Amino acid sequence: MNFEVKMLKTDVLIIGGGTAGCFAAVTIAEKAPNVSVLIAEKANIKRSGCLAAGVNALNAYITEGETPETYLQYVKEDYENIVREDLVYTMALRLNEVTKKIEDMGLVILKDSNGKYLARGKRNIKINGENIKPILAKAVESKKNIRVLNHVNIIDYIVKGSKVIGAHGFSINSNVFYIIIAKAVICATGGAAGLYRPNNPGFSRHKMWYPPFNVGSGYAMGIRAGCEMTSYEVRFIALRCKDTLAPTGTIAQEVKAEFINSKGEYYEKRYGRPTTYNRVFSTVEEMKAGRGPCYLKTVGISKEDEQRLIKAYLHMAPSQTLKWIDSGRGPSVENVEIEGSEPYIVGGHSASGYWVDTKRQTTLKGLFAAGDVVGGCPHKYVTGCFAEAEIAANSALKYIKDKEFETIDISSIEQKLNEVQRFFTNTSPLYTTEELEEAMQKVMDVYAGGISTGYAYNLKGLQVAKERIDELFTLAQRLRAEDTYQLMKIYELIDRLYVCKVLLHHLEARKETRWRAFQEFVDYPYKDDENFLKYVNSRFENGQVKIIFRSLVKKDEVYEHKD
Ligand SMILES: Cc1cc2nc3c(=O)[nH]c(=O)nc-3n(C[C@H](O)[C@H](O)[C@H](O)COP(=O)(O)OP(=O)(O)OC[C@H]3O[C@@H](n4cnc5c(N)ncnc54)[C@H](O)[C@@H]3O)c2cc1C
């Protein structure tokens, strides 16, 4: 492959044009119309990332009677106190303001007869959100100082000393290699799916809860560049409708459906507080005890409620609606069977990701992060990603003031190009990318707490997994690409392997069990507040994952990176 090399310059580079990326770009464009912004997106910003298919609620909103303080309290309780209070609180302070902003962009938020947003529970508001991503994309396109590069896969940062000064990437549908120089970079590439063997392996393996195209590239780039990462061991497992993997929360909240086992027993309360992780754990335990399958009890709901559910799922998970319609058995006559997904690394739901300061700067200067890629701040969801994007955008704007473009070392570009070219010239690959991907997912499933072990893992298994993942790294270097699409698949695999490697070290380092199912360490089955009321962080140094323990950061602290 002969690449055409293009060098671009922009004041701010945003990697990933999803929820946070688009919102950050619009924030900068509105505040500083003379600042140039470039979004590099591997898909097309009109329908990329988590919002591609739409959502039907904004899950993070401060409703009447609630406050940013109560939101923080809820997040702390749900995640057993291992959250960055400064991040959650500064996010919560902005939730309602960013909601107004997306409404002004054109999102329909449902209201009651008094004009108040229709709440679903304490923190959710209902929307007509099928078109939320095209709305965001339109807002981006309306700004003259934002340039969008769709179908460009970013593979690594350009680092000078301890500063990020741009990124490398390639076009997925032409032979262009990009060198993008920027005064500041915002990473907004979302979380990591496809690390573990999914519920539907083989032909249907891309049918998963999280977008299969979010492979953790932002994490991997940060890991390779030596950024500090946090809380990878706080994996996220989604409790979903069986087979369709549609959300269960909508059913639970809309018609107050409760969990029952095959004997019709309500089991949730047997397992302690109804936290996000406990709902998954209790369902797994019921299955293990032979009382599965488990269900959301919907039989007996009214026909009106049934219609509401059918409509709600049509907006966000049409496969569930099709299942009801196709089988002729809607939720009023048949309970909805549920199951846990495979584990993901996703900072917007749980706590894994970049270790950032309160301003959302990572441990490398000039590199900011927002959205699911940022750790320490669970229950962010759409509006939390917007809030974080706003903070990162404001911080990046401050950072670039009076900054000039850095010069770039040509030999480092040549080195990167050679690394990429090698995948076109490799002659004897032992396996295909797909085969190695399956092997990685099986290793993680069997030895690192996937679905097949009920999410539990032990020390011995983690050690085996580490060895196997290292072997896969070696095999991946021999892969061959025929075109840039296949090249992207190779990089996706390599990025996932980096995330797996760091994840395995985090799982090993937290020698307790704090979030059942999410982090279920068989050798250390109890919560250990005395030793583990702290963050497990890591940095990749000289090919090794170095674990760092850090003390908890409180609500009113302004956290700055010092060491
Ligand atoms: C199925 C599902 C349902 C959800 N439902 C709700 C809901 O109802 N309400 C709610 O509030 N929240 C919901 N959430 C959560 C919410 O959607 C996410 O937290 C949020 O959208 C994440 O935003 P993000 O910007 O971090 O990631 P994304 O929006 O996924 O953006 C990441 C972007 O980065 C791009 N990218 C990735 N790698 C690269 C690369 N190497 N180079 C260039 N680009 C790259 C991706 O293509 C993508 O466009 C849901 C999430 C999921 C997965």
What pLDDT shows up at residue 266?
Answer: 96
Q: Distance, CA 82 to ligand 1 centroid (Å)?
A: 23
Contact 457, 466 (CB under 8 A): no
For residue 214 and ligand 1, the question of a CB distance below 6 A is answered with: yes
Residue 310 has a pLDDT of 93
Check if the beta carbon of residue 93 is closer than 8 Å to that of residue 85: no
Ligand 1 within 6 A of CB of 320: no
Write the Ramachandran bin of 174: left for phi over 0, alpha for psi from -120 to 50, otherwise beta: beta
DSSP characters over 183-219? EEEEE----B-SSS--SS-GGGTT--SS-TT-BSHHH
Locate 249 and state its tokens.
């929360």
367-369/176-187 β-pairing: parallel
Q: Is 18 in the pocket of ligand 1 (CB under 6 A)?
A: yes
Give the pLDDT band (50/70/90) at residue 242: very high
Interval 494-520 mean pLDDT: 98
User: Where are the alpha helices (H) located in 426-458, listed in sequence order?
Assistant: 433-447
Whether 20 is in the pocket of ligand 1, judged by its Cβ within 6 Å, is yes
Please give the helix or strand (H or E) that residue 124 lies within, else none. Answer: strand 124-129
Percent of the chain at pLDDT > 90 equals 91
Percent of the chain with pLDDT over 70: 100
Verdict on whether the full-model pTM lies above 0.95: yes
372 CA distance to ligand 1 centroid (A)? 7
pLDDT at 536: 98
pLDDT at residue 207 greater than cutoff 90: no
pLDDT reading at 72 higher than 80: yes
Is pLDDT of 402 > 80?
yes
Rounded CA separation 24/509 (Å): 34
The pLDDT of residue 316 is above 80: no
Cα of 165 to ligand 1 centre, how many Å? 25
> How far does the centroid of ligand 1 lie from the alpha carbon of residue 18, in Å?
6
Beta strand 37-40 with 4-15 is parallel
Q: Sign of the CA dihedral 103, 104, 107, 110?
A: positive
For 356, other C-beta atoms within 10 Å of its C-beta total: 33
* Neighbour count for residue 69 (Cβ, 10 Å): 13
pLDDT beyond 90 at 121? no
Determine the Cα–Cα distance for residues 222 and 170; give it in Å rounded to an integer.
18
What is the best residue among 213, 382, 489 to mutate for testing ligand 1's pocket, by most ligand atoms within 8 Å of CB?
Answer: 382
For residue 40, list its beta bridge partners. 15, 149
Provide the Cα torsion 496, 502, 507, 508; round to 10°: 140
Residue 348 near ligand 1, beta carbon < 6 Å:
yes
Going from the C-alpha of 205 to that of each of 53, 185, 469, 482, the distances in angstroms are 18, 33, 20, 23
Q: Do the beta carbons of residue 450 and residue 196 sit within 8 Å?
A: yes
What is the per-residue pLDDT for 202?
79
Within 13 A of 317's CA, how many CA atoms are on the CB side? 24
CA of 189 to the centre of ligand 1 (A): 8
Distance CA 504, CA 342 (A): 15
- The answer, yes or no, to whether residue 206 has pLDDT greater than 90, is no
Confidence of residue 405 (pLDDT cuts 50, 70, 90): very high
Residue 406 alpha carbon to ligand 1 centre in Å: 31
Q: Is the pLDDT of residue 164 over 80?
A: yes
What mean pLDDT comes out for the span 207-219? 94
- Distance, CA 17 to ligand 1 centroid (Å)? 9
Per-residue pLDDT at 302 exceeds 80: yes
In this prediction, residue 2 has a pLDDT band, given cuts at 50, 70 and 90, of: confident
37-40/146-149 β-pairing: parallel
In terms of DSSP bridges, do strands 146-149 and 124-129 run parallel, antiparallel, or are they unpaired? unpaired
Nearest atom, ligand 1, residue 380 CA: 19
Mean pLDDT for the chain?
A: 96
In tens, the pLDDT along 21-36 reads 999 999 999 999 999 9
Residues in a beta bridge with 179: 7, 168
Return the pLDDT at 117: 96
**pLDDT for the residue 391:** 98
Instruction: Give the pLDDT of residue 516.
Output: 97
Task: Report the C-alpha gap between 285 and 454 in whole angstroms.
Answer: 8
Burial class of residue 147 (count of CB atoms within 10 Å of its CB; 0-12, 13-18, 19+):
middle
192-to-11, 50, 392, 409, 538 alpha-carbon distances in Å: 28, 11, 21, 31, 17
Residue-wise pLDDT for 447-457, tens only, equals: 999 999 999 99
Query: How much distance in Å is there from the Cα of 269 to the middle of ligand 1?
Result: 32
* Contact call for residues 82 and 506 (beta carbons, < 8 A): no
pLDDT tens by residue, 247-260: 898 898 889 999 99
- Give distance in angstroms: CA of 215 to centre of ligand 1: 11
Ligand 1 contact, 250 CB (< 6 A): no
What's the rounded Cα separation, in Å, for the pair 20 and 18?
6
**Residue 216: CB within 6 Å of ligand 1?**
no
pLDDT at 276: 93
pLDDT band of residue 412 (cuts 50, 70, 90) is confident
Average pLDDT score over residue span 148-177: 97
CB atoms near residue 128 (< 10 Å): 13
What are the CA-CA distances from residue 432 to residues 95, 214, 436 (Å)?
45, 20, 6
Distance CA 320, CA 76 (A): 32
| pLDDT above 80 for 315 | no
Ligand 1 atom 52, closest CA: 50
N residues, the chain:
563
The arithmetic mean of pLDDT across residues 214-239, rounded, is 98
* Mutation to probe ligand 1, out of 381, 388, 487 (largest number of atoms < 8 A from CB): 381
Tell me if 370 CB under 6 Å of ligand 1. no
Pairing type for strands 4-15 and 176-187 reads parallel
pLDDT interval class at 370 (50, 70, 90)? very high
Distance in angstroms (rounded) separating the CA atoms of residues 14 and 45: 12
Tokens of 220: 């991997």
Q: Which is nearest to 196 in space by CA: 395, 403, 451, 429?
A: 451
Please state the rounded mean pLDDT for residues 137-147.
98
When pLDDT is cut at 50, 70 and 90, the band that residue 37 belongs to is very high
163-167: long-range contacts, CB 8 A cutoff, minimum separation 24: 163/364, 163/365, 163/366, 163/406, 164/225, 164/364, 164/365, 164/366, 164/367, 165/366, 165/405, 165/406, 165/408, 166/13, 166/408, 167/13, 167/15, 167/40, 167/221
List beta partners, residue 240. 247, 339
Q: What is the pLDDT of residues 535-544, one digit of tens each?
A: 999 999 999 9
**Tokens 């480092």 identify what position?**
412
